[in-house]
Chain A
Amino acid sequence: MNIDSLSPAILTLVTFVPLAGAMLLSLLPRRDREIRIFALVVSLLTFFLSLHLPVYFRRPGSGFQFEIDRPWISTPNIHYHMGVDGISLWLIVLTTFLTPLCVLISWHSVHERVKEFFILLLLLETALIGVFTSLDLFLFYFFWEATLIPMALLIGIFGHEHKVYAAVKFFMYTMIASVFMLAAILWLYAHTGTFDYVATRDLITNGAIPKFPAAAQWLFLGFFLAFAVKVPLVPFHTWLPDAHVEAPTAGSVLLAGVLLKMGTYGMLRFNLGLFPEQSRQNAWWIMILALIGIVYGALVAMVQPNMKKLIAYSSVSHLGFVVLGIFSFTQAGLNGAMFVMLAHGISTGALFMLAGILHERRHTYEIMEFGGLASPMPIYAASYLFIVLASIGLPLLNGFIGEFLVLSGTFQARPVYAILGATGVIWSAIYLLWMYQRVFFGKVTHEVNNSLSDLSSAEKWAVWPCAVAALVMGVAPILWLAAIDPAVHSALTPFVHVASRMVGP
């Protein structure tokens, strides 16, 4: 097909192919094997379609590409407006990359209500991609809320022991926080007459909205609260460990890999994009919360007896880096934040898969139950080590690049914060390696563990692409940063004078 003719439709295709797949899937008979294959084909198709975006993305190009803008509802003035820039580009690809892996990792672990499971998974994918492609505030909110239901159902139906509690807690936290965003969006619409992101941003920049200065702080907080719960920033993080521990593996992978990034993406796109002034004023306490998140998340992770909870708390810590980078308002900091989002998505996604693989064999996440697994499961142990090293931030692997950039950016802006944040790198090495040591090294302490089987081929196909991606991202980050950098640069334009003042002469 001609590329030019595909370009305007590509975002629609990428977003809605999973939905179409889910609809078809609901018509298929309940034959589990065929359903799995079909889901895999749909998610792979989406992945390959989404590769169109990075391949034909013009670099360096600022502004939005592959745009499509059609009126949807005339009153209120809602448009079907989609587009990507360097910030959303890779998050879309991350989503489409992780979904087929989720299908693979659930290949054997989901036996009941297989059809519903894969329908929900594909619905979730559509909603997630929609969040990153929407350029209309209404459309964004639409997809944002739409992610809630499939995720809550995935946790609540396919989860573990306290699944219902976790699902409802997840739903309520996000729902209540995001209604504040809705209120802010409604205010903006009431005073601008448009939901369009670009138009709203321009109106704000030109100071064309009456009463905006008085309301801006509240609007900023409205958006921020919704995103902070999603990230999650420290006082709002308590839903996360529950949701992760109870979720099925694929749910955890998408939750950590993509859903949390909706929060940081939102901060970057909406808090920084629409309210630069307020972002700057509020940066100090947000960065303190981020620092608390880094250290507190790491310390709590360290003492967790439960492997999945440990990984969940490590997410709190890692996402703290992202927020720290975003609110440093430096080129390096934002590049780093974007890179940590992607790296965390891949390595934590893989860690959850690995934890799920173990759970499937032993039906427990307790670290105490394991020990010396390296001898019965050598391939598993090696893959695990690789991912752990990537997550810790070993140079040449993906975690290092992002954390380095974030810390150097933060150092330019607020040196003390950077020094405190840097301790997070040490903490993460401690808790992950200590966990690794307790699980894999030494003698096999529990007899059952001797007979554990190593990775199956579906599991290899699920985990190894993450490992490869972690390596490539670590060696050649420029492939990603080439698109991210210009987008970050234009996101920072309103901050230029601020940034130069902070960096010094």
Chain B
Amino acid sequence: MTMPTVALLQTLPQAADYTRILPEIVLSLFGLAVMLLEPLLDEENNQKVLGLLALVGTLFALAATWCMAQSPGLAFWSMVQVDGFSVFFHVLIIVIAAVVILSSYEYMAVQRIRAGEYYALILFGTVGMTLMSSAVELVLIFIALEISSISSYILAGFRRNSAASTESSLKYFLLGSFATAFFLYGVALMFGATGATNIGQISHILQAGPIPLLAYVAVAFMFVGLGFKVAAAPFHIWTPDVYEGAPAPIVGLMSTAPKAAAFAVLLRIVFVIDVHALFWIIWISAALSMTLGNISALVQSNVKRLLAYSSIAHAGYILVAFAADPALGTSAVMFYAASYAAMNLGAFAVVSHFANVGERYVSLEDYQGLGRSSPLLAATLTIFLLSLIGIPMTGGFFAKFYVFSAAIKSNLIWLTIIGVLNSGIGAYYYLRIIVMMYMREAHKRVPTTPPPFALRLALAACMAATLYLGLSPNRILQYSQNSAQELVRKTPPEAPASTVSLR
């Protein structure tokens, strides 16, 4: 073979490259299959069949993730990186999607929403989110971010006959596009400052010489874009309105999976690019998110709004870890993302079951006396809420515990004090829901039906994960620590010859 042919062959994607994006491929194929199958089915069946197909898709994607995990490394000219870190977020996001699909089954039937694109959009959104967690090229991250965002914009508006849902979708779309524009602007500025868009290369260049002022601005812009996605203060204003209007299972999805993905990106940007000026931005944003989220949640009377503010507060707790030491912080974020996903999805699954036709029953008063009328579901919700408070024996406790101990180890005493104080105050509003369920008598008849099998499965999965993380967090923590070490210690790759340079 002549030399140019070898070079050409090297620039072509290898089989391993495709293995490293196998989950994304599988998810896209299943998403397309759902779309193609939809017109062929009558309305009666399509909900069940398409949902099942989507569910099978996520299971195959999990298997694909396993294959992907077997061949760690860079793919597609260093645009995608498979390591313990990205495998962790792949599994997390795909499992979240599966649970959301399970809890959507009943919801879609009760709300009489045509399933059609719904399940396909969930799968496509998942593609974007998983890709975010493994992309190490800022432009690819942006594309992945858009894939996931556009799906969620549409999903937020799926209750077409409800004005609130339309408002939610539009608001999410307008503000979201604005935020992604910020991110893109940050990417452009970073390219201007360093001449690279690959995270590894950027980190290499920035460490080599004096950091140009432009790089700080660029990172700050990217933080704004991602801060919007994770609903961190002061970019959180959209959250309550969007969560209130969007379909409840989708809120469960929006508040966990895209956040996890955005946190994954943020972890790579903050800890691999490692620009110190970001520290105070994160510090302030964390303190603000915790405080504003918790204080606003205290006075909410709509359960979905309440959980929206709670998710802002939880984003704040996670941001605390970003201000900490890289290795400790990364593993704390990973653990937090996992346990937050388990408890919050569970809570939203219960909320979407209770909501009933047209989401009529979502105010706090509607939860009065539920402890009596449907004791099992109320007990389940109670455990998720206790986990959100951070009571021992639940995943939420260890999540907070690791975050705050990472913060203390990094000498962030004041941030920790703000954090623990907030988690004390936060207990109040979760407690309000529990109080409503157990200590008040029902004033009006809220119809309750026994949960169908799919929902039970979803709840059981969330419950098992919440308790597992609370009782023996060892293995997950060990895993996240190892992959965090790997992520942080990683020396930036020398720009390989095959890299398609934008210069």
Name A residues whose Cβ lies closer than 8 Å to a Cβ of B: 73-76, 141-143, 145-146, 148-149, 152-153, 156-157, 163-164, 167-168, 171-172, 175-180, 182-183, 186-187, 189-190
Contact = CB atoms under 8 A, between A and B. Distances in A.
Contacts of B386: 149
In the A-B complex, the 6 residue pairs with the smallest Cβ-Cβ separation, listed nearest first, are A176-B424, A179-B420, A190-B409, A142-B392, A156-B439, A186-B408
A183 B417 contact: yes
B474 A146 contact: no
A120 to B, nearest CB: 11
B492 interface: no
Interface of B: 386, 389, 391-393, 397, 401-402, 404-405, 408-409, 413, 416-417, 420-421, 423-425, 427-428, 431-432, 435, 438-440, 472-474, 477-478, 481
Nearest to A139: B392
A145 B404 contact: no
A156 B408 contact: no
Contacts of B425: 176
Contact of A183 (B408, B432, B439, B481): B408
Given A74-B478, A156-B435, 19 more contacts: A75-B474, A75-B481, A145-B392, A149-B391, A163-B439, A164-B435, A168-B428, A171-B427, A175-B424, A175-B427, A176-B421, A176-B427, A178-B424, A180-B417, A183-B408, A186-B408, A189-B408, A190-B408, A190-B409
A234 B473 CA distance: 39
Contact of A172 (B424, B439, B473): B424
18 contacts: A73-B473, A73-B477, A74-B478, A156-B435, A157-B438, A168-B428, A172-B428, A175-B424, A176-B427, A179-B423, A182-B401, A182-B404, A182-B420, A183-B404, A186-B401, A186-B404, A189-B405, A190-B408
A157 B420 contact: no
A142 B392 CA distance: 5
A323 B401 CA distance: 30
B439 A164 contact: yes
Nearest to A177: B424
Contact of B438 (A146, A153, A183): A153
Contacts of B431: 152, 168, 171-172
Contacts of B478: 74-75
A74 B416 contact: no
A218 to B, nearest CB: 8
Q: For B397, B405, B477, which residue has the most chain A Cβ atoms within 10 angstroms?
A: B405
Q: Is the interface of A mostly helix, strand, loop or mixed?
A: helix
Nearest to A146: B392
Contacts of A180: 417, 420
A152 B416 CA distance: 26
B316 to A, nearest CB: 15
A179 B474 contact: no
A156 B423 CA distance: 21
A146 B435 contact: no
B79 to A, nearest CB: 33
B408 A187 contact: yes
Contacts of B423: 179
B294 to A, nearest CB: 12
A172 B427 contact: yes
A156 B420 CA distance: 25
A179 B421 contact: yes
A190 B389 CA distance: 23
Contacts of B473: 73
B113 to A, nearest CB: 37
A275 to B, nearest CB: 17
Contacts of A182: 401, 404, 420
Contacts of B413: 187
A362 to B, nearest CB: 24
A251 to B, nearest CB: 14
A187 B389 CA distance: 21
A141 B432 CA distance: 24
A175 B389 CA distance: 10
Contact of A146 (B393, B428, B477): B393
A164 B391 contact: no
Nearest to A71: B474
Nearest to B375: A116
Contacts of A164: 435, 439-440
A163 B439 CA distance: 8
Contacts of A76: 402, 405
Contacts of A171: 427, 431
Contacts of B432: 168
Q: For B404, B425, B472, B481, which residue has the most chain A Cβ atoms within 10 angstroms?
A: B404
Contacts of B392: 141-143, 145-146
Contacts of B393: 142, 146
Contact of A74 (B404, B409, B427, B474): B474
A157 B375 CA distance: 14
A167 B428 CA distance: 11
A153 B432 CA distance: 12
Contacts of A163: 439
A246 to B, nearest CB: 11
Contacts of A74: 474, 478
A473 to B, nearest CB: 34
Contact of A167 (B408, B409, B435, B474): B435
Nearest to A155: B439
A157 B439 contact: yes
Contacts of A178: 424
A161 to B, nearest CB: 12
Q: For B409, B427, B439, which residue has the most chain A Cβ atoms within 10 angstroms?
A: B439
Q: For A76, A142, A180, A182, which residue has the most chain B Cβ atoms within 10 angstroms?
A: A182
A182 to B, nearest CB: 6
Contacts of A189: 405, 408
A156 B424 contact: no
Contacts of B420: 179-180, 182-183
B419 to A, nearest CB: 9
B428 A73 contact: no
Contacts of A143: 392
Contacts of B408: 183, 186-187, 189-190
A474 B115 CA distance: 76
Contacts of B435: 156, 164, 167-168
A73 B397 CA distance: 14
A478 B400 CA distance: 46
